[in-house]
Amino acid sequence: MRSAALGSDDWTRNWQASIAVKITAMVLWVIIVVVFIVSTVFLNDLQRQLESEYSGSADQVAYQVALALHAGAGAEEGAFAALLDDLSTRYRLRGVRVALPDRAMAVGGVDDADTALRRDLAFASGPGEAYVEIFPPALDRLAREQRNQLVIAAFLLLLIFGLFLTWSIRTIVHRPLQQLVNATRAISRGQQDVRLEISREDEFGYLSRFFNEMLDRLMAQQRELQNTLRKAQSASRAKSAFLANMSHELRTPLNAIIGYSEMLTEDAAAQGLDAYTPDLKRIHMAGTHLLSLINNVLDVSKIEAGKLSVHAHRFAVDALIEDVVDTVRPLLDKNRNRLVLDNGPQLGQMFSDETKLRQILVNLLGNAAKFTENGVVTLSVRRIAEAGEDWLQFAVRDTGIGIAQDQIARLFTDFTQVDSSTTRRYGGTGLGLAISRRFCQRLGGDIQVASEVGQGSIFTLRLPVQLVEPGGDPCSEAPAAGSA
């Protein structure tokens, strides 16, 4: 059992996707806003508090000076100056000035331009005016200093709290979530031995336990599905082998039936036994039809077994088209359809598997003839150049029953027709189009279809003029053209 801690946390790169970062950022923003509001309210009241504080200091200084004068301390100038200096230091003043009727004395920085707080000396002896003035520091400067100290202290505390909050969130929230993400990513890449460590009993611990249990069940289901798939593949291979063997065994007597029916038809015609000719032709047609069905089943079994071979050689396209038309003309005449050929100029030659191309065209034209009555079936052939490569485009258009749009995707599925009513009315195994598309893809092209109910259909086949193997090398011009 491996831990799910696969890979490192990269917060710098994934900060927008991290829940921990989002929670931390949200909390920090709330704290910043609260600190800003509290600081604003405090600073607005700070200057008033300073004014009130120094007003009380002025009262205290005046009271102390008055007591000293009343006690006769003013007679000694040096002692009186020391008292004023002590008061200035004690109350954090820039200076103190005392005015008496007979003299004045000042200590510290005294400037008449500065704002001073004045208090009368009630206990001063002698006639005349007596007062004391204190000169506090500039209140706006004090407010700025205290504001700066407050901001610095608030942000230091905020930084410490933010670091603690970040560490807490990473430990409590981010780390278990990241382990879950890493485990899920590892499982999506195909690792099956990943499990989450269960070291806590909170919601994340329960989530880890449920995750491991779910993964165990999924692995068990996957093993069961793999076993089922192997059995299905084995059954499919056995079915394909059975179809191939049975198709081969059935074709041998059918070829004899078809051959003898042709010989008997010729003998009946030579001996004037015309009454037997229709029955012999029916035997021949039934045998030919059954052989075609068996050939389709054999082709499907070869495709599923991966044994579909290609025998490419060079042939004339015009000659192939004439051969295909002669083959499907009885099917067209059966439903009283008219065939229109629209061949482009200079079709030239083609290097591909002639047998498979003939079977594709016969299937497409045969379907068009089967699903069209008293209509027109058109075969258009064009040689086009695209991206420096020559292509042949075959288009089979009919005026038949058409196909609904939601049914087109099912056309190229094995043993599938549009609906059951089509099978009952027109017959068939539903293999022709599926085989045709697979042949076409094996030859380097594809088939597309466009249709509308009641308006007919058009099947477009595109193949390269020069067949190229999947590896990219041109096929060798082997003169074989055996049966598919």
Q: Is 364 exposed, middle or buried (0-12, 13-18, 19+ CB in 10 A)?
A: buried
Whether 430 contacts 407, CB under 8 Å? no
CA–CA separation, 307 and 119 (whole Å): 117
Alpha helices in 15-108 (DSSP H): 19-70, 77-90
Whether 198-307 and 309-464 share one fold: the answer is no
**Cα-based angle 132, 112, 115 (whole degrees, multiple of 5):** 75
CA–CA separation, 174 and 157 (whole Å): 23
Rounded to whole angstroms, what are the CA distances from 28 to 20, 34, 54, 326, 483?
Answer: 12, 10, 38, 85, 79
Spatial neighbors of 127 by CB under 8 A, at least 6 apart, are 101
Kindly report the pTM of this predicted structure. Answer: 0.47
Look at residue 366 in the predicted model and tell me its pLDDT: 87
How would CATH label the architecture of 198-307? Answer: Orthogonal Bundle (1.10)
Look at residue 480 in the predicted model and tell me its pLDDT: 35
Whether 370 contacts 426, CB under 8 Å? yes
User: What's the chain's length in residues?
Assistant: 484
- CA 33, 37, 38, 42 torsion: positive or negative? positive
The neighbour count for residue 183, using CB atoms within 10 Å, is 24
Q: Which helix (H) or strand (E) holds 459?
A: strand 456-464
> What residue spans define the domains of the chain?
1-191, 198-307, 309-464
Query: Per-residue confidence of the chain (484 residues) as pLDDT tens digits?
Result: 444 444 444 544 444 456 666 777 777 777 777 777 777 777 667 767 777 787 888 888 888 888 877 777 666 777 778 888 888 888 878 788 888 877 788 887 777 656 788 888 765 555 557 888 888 776 666 666 777 777 788 778 877 877 787 777 777 666 777 777 777 777 777 766 777 666 666 666 667 777 777 777 877 888 888 888 888 888 877 776 776 667 667 777 878 888 888 888 888 888 888 888 888 877 877 777 677 777 766 666 666 666 677 888 999 999 999 988 888 888 888 889 999 998 888 888 999 988 889 888 988 998 888 888 999 999 999 999 888 889 999 999 999 888 887 777 777 765 555 554 554 454 455 577 888 888 888 888 988 898 888 888 999 999 999 987 654 445 544 433 333 3
| CATH number 3.30.565.10 given to 309-464 | yes
